[in-house]
Amino acid sequence: MKIYLDGKLVDREKAVISVFDHGLLYGDGVFEGIRTYDSLVFRLKEHIDRLYRSADAIELKIPLTKPEMVKAVIDTLKANSLKDAYIRLVVTRGVGDLGLDPRKCPKATVFIIADKIALYPQKYYEHGLAIITASTRRNLPQALDPRIKSLNYLNNILAKIEAIKAGTEEAIMLSYDKHVAECTGDNIFIVLGGKLMTPLVSIGALEGITRDAVIKIAKASGIPFCEKILNMEDLYAASEVFLTGTAAEIVPVVKIDGQMIGDGKPGKLTLNLREELKKLTKSDGVKYEV
């Protein structure tokens, strides 16, 4: 495996960063998870744009232009002869000292990993996922803007631990005032009263790239849709619930906190949207040759 690291493609064993890198010491950095399908990088422009927006939000200067970053992603895929892959693109503050001061980090560190990923077993796509509601609250938007896809994921990890202890794969995270925000690694949608709904990002949800793709599909298909404040009662009453994410794609939810959703099977709209997303992954992105 070849890893892109600060302008060079190096063997996995040689892809190392300093223990003084502030990405390691303080989680000071940003990242993107990106998918490729049959040599097409899905929504690459949107991912790169979000990466740079996240970096700007924390005043982190990326030492590559956007076209150079796109080339680095493609070069990494080609070096690993991957047509279908998951890409982890990371930019850290770089090497500094043991203090917090970002001025002590003269240059950001950039690395890109391209590999395979299967976030959920196939059985969950066929039969649906049972999830819980975590007691761990989503970070306050005023404390850490959820639109920043940063390396600070401890909040999500604590909620993930709750899910694992409960014997499931995912957990819903609520805002400080108990509104539905998102899951530990995925956005969430519901079908209620014949309308597709998802939480407002201002509640504390990431502006997911796959979330945006699903919204685009829904609007183009004439499916009634809105972003709104959702409570757990809305989820329990929903006829369908599903999660979206770059790695997850679209995965149906059939049970929340032990309560069955709809008829306990993946819903018709969920399955239709999943098929439409598959079509989109064949056209919406950047093509390359291995």
Q: What is the pLDDT of residues 109-124, one digit of tens each?
A: 999 999 988 778 999 9
pTM greater than the 0.85 cutoff: yes
For residue 272, what are its two tokens? 């239709």
d(CA 17, CA 6): 10
In the set 66, 149, 160, 287, the catalytic residue is: 149
Q: Where are the beta strands (DSSP E) in 50-106?
A: 85-92
Predicted confidence at residue 118, as pLDDT, reads 78
Instruction: Show the domains of the chain with their CATH numbers.
Output: 2-115 (3.30.470.10), 122-280 (3.20.10.10)
Q: What is the pLDDT of residues 160-205, one digit of tens each?
A: 999 999 999 999 999 999 999 999 999 999 999 999 999 999 999 9
Provide the 3-class DSSP secondary structure of residue 12.
helix
Q: Is 45 a catalytic residue?
A: no
Predicted confidence at residue 117, as pLDDT, reads 81
**% of the chain exceeding 90 in pLDDT:** 94
Predicted confidence at residue 147, as pLDDT, reads 87
Predicted confidence at residue 57, as pLDDT, reads 96
Beta-bridged to residue 174, according to DSSP, are 180
